[in-house]
Amino acid sequence: MRAFLVGEPPTMPTDPADLEFTADEMRRMGHATVERLVDHVLSLETQPARGDVDAADLCRRLREPAPERGVAYEPLLDRLLTEWVPRSFTSSGPGYLAYIPGGGLYPAGLADLIADVVNRYTGVRLAAPALVQLEANALDWLRDWMGFPDGTRGLFTTGGSMAHFNAVVCARERHLGADIRAGALYGSTQMHHSMSKSARLAGIMPDRIRAVPVDGRFRMDVDALADLIAADRRAGLARSASRRRPAPRTPAPSIR
């Protein structure tokens, strides 16, 4: 579906499958978008932390079948930034303190734009060696800053939930191998809900997930953890992987 610029006649291209734009069209769309986004960033301090949470009527009005014809780009951009974006949490604003989204940096947004437009494949090093090396450099910086050994390796994910999933799969492979039912996963009652989802996606069923109580400061009760592990071992579960809530830090004695 092609978007038109203001002033263009709302006619379909000769080839309905043609999704290409001229250089002037691309520049005009880019300039219009950047100008609106800069205005948006400059207004963050005055935006409410919470948008319209009762948006059922809005969402019903937005439902529509797939359009048969293109629409002008600028009016669509205007509706997006004046009607729809404001009716959400302003997670990038200074008044937003809930959940985990970061405020973001403008150069990072430009980096996403560049990555999407140049559209290079970085799934294997051979396809884009310099770009893959840049990512490896950033991973090495994080490793050094956190004091991990030189051989430590990692990867960037789209967010915390996917990071949890990767961690659960790695722990499963290291501790359980193919015998998934032989172990259990332990987490405090304060652990993020994505952990249980990640466990299930990794083949660890709910009956193999243990919720460990916490103390008055929301730290994992390590004595209760030891009791749960001992009970599982008596039941024949010999191997385990565990995760603690990262903050506040839990004093953890040696548990094997």
* pLDDT tens sequence across 45-89: 998 888 777 788 888 999 999 988 888 899 999 999 998 998 888
Say how far apart CA 135 and CA 227 lie, in whole Å.
42
Q: List alpha helices for 67-221, DSSP H.
A: 73-79, 106-118, 129-145, 160-175, 193-201
Residue 94: asked if its preceding bond is cis (omega within 30°), the reply is no
In a domain, 194, yes or no: yes
In a domain, 31, yes or no: yes
In a domain, 153, yes or no: no
pLDDT bin (cut points 50, 70, 90) of residue 250 is very low
In a domain, 115, yes or no: no
Select from 103, 121, 139 the last residue of a domain.
103
Total number of domains in the chain: 2
In a domain, 94, yes or no: yes
DSSP state of 7: T
pLDDT at 8: 54
Say how far apart CA 142 and CA 208 lie, in whole Å.
33
In a domain, 7, yes or no: no
In a domain, 126, yes or no: no
The token duo for 32 is 């219009």
* Average pLDDT for 196-203: 94
Select from 83, 103, 123 the last residue of a domain.
103
Q: Residue 188's beta-bridge partner residues?
A: 212
In a domain, 14, yes or no: no
Pairing of strands 239-243, 183-188: parallel
pLDDT bin (cut points 50, 70, 90) of residue 249 is very low
Print the domain residue range for 84.
Answer: 23-103
Nearest in space to 240 (alpha carbons), one of 190, 195, 204, 191: 204
Select from 103, 130, 147 the last residue of a domain.
103
CB atoms within 10 A of CB 101: 12
The token duo for 6 is 């203001």
